[in-house]
Structure 1
Amino acid sequence: SGRSVIVVGPLLSLHQCGLPREIAIELFQTFVIRGLIRQDVASNTGIAKRKIREKEPIVWEILQEVMQGHPVLLNRAPTLHRLGIQAFQPILVEGRAICLHPLVCKGFNADFDGDQMAVHVPLSLEAQA
């Protein structure tokens, strides 16, 4: 999981959120490692982790593929009703803030004056359903 300030992302669709590269690579690291090994870019987890640390271009390509198949959950505390946690399709963005479409803020009771949100990745298929 991760946590960051939210900023407006007017070019995003309602079902998308922008995840900073730093947060995304931490959240999806195990999936990226598996992708590097499956594509024979790395022969073991140690080499795969080094490639991630060195931020090689193939890492970002695999991360993009992985993110397409894994929704993330965004939560803004306090969670007072079920709209306080919602699922989004993550998109890689530059910077260090989570981007949200302005129309989804009402359910979170959020605005863009420094509010923070937590992001979680459901790992199993049951959790994603």
Structure 2
Amino acid sequence: MSLRLATLLALAGVTAVTAGCVVEQPAPPPRRVVYEAPPPPPPVVEVVAPQPPPVAVVEEIPPPRHGYIWARGYWHWDGARYVAVRGHWEAVRPGYHYVHPHWERGPGGWHFSAGIWVAG
């Protein structure tokens, strides 16, 4: 047998032996995607008082604080009488303005509007 044929057979044998050494990794299991609905908004509780609130909440307004606004105090109706609620600091929200808590006369009595941030 010639040297060329022997080399070719040896190369073919090595190729055949090493070709069987390839180990294929199994495909990863598919990822489960779970979509969760956002929680429902809290129920809206409308506070209606039979009489108007006192004229104003008397409170000492603190000096300005960078990055915050002072949310004024207001009168809270507890079902039998008005109770004063102190003001508090609210962090400024760029692009929004704060509407302070207030009472408005409406059908059936006085309606309370909570303090909220409004775009614009």
TM-score range, shorter chain: under 0.3
Structure with bigger RCO (C-alpha 8 Å, 6+ apart): 1
Q: Which protein shows a greater Rg? A: 2
Q: Select the structure that is richer in helix.
A: 1
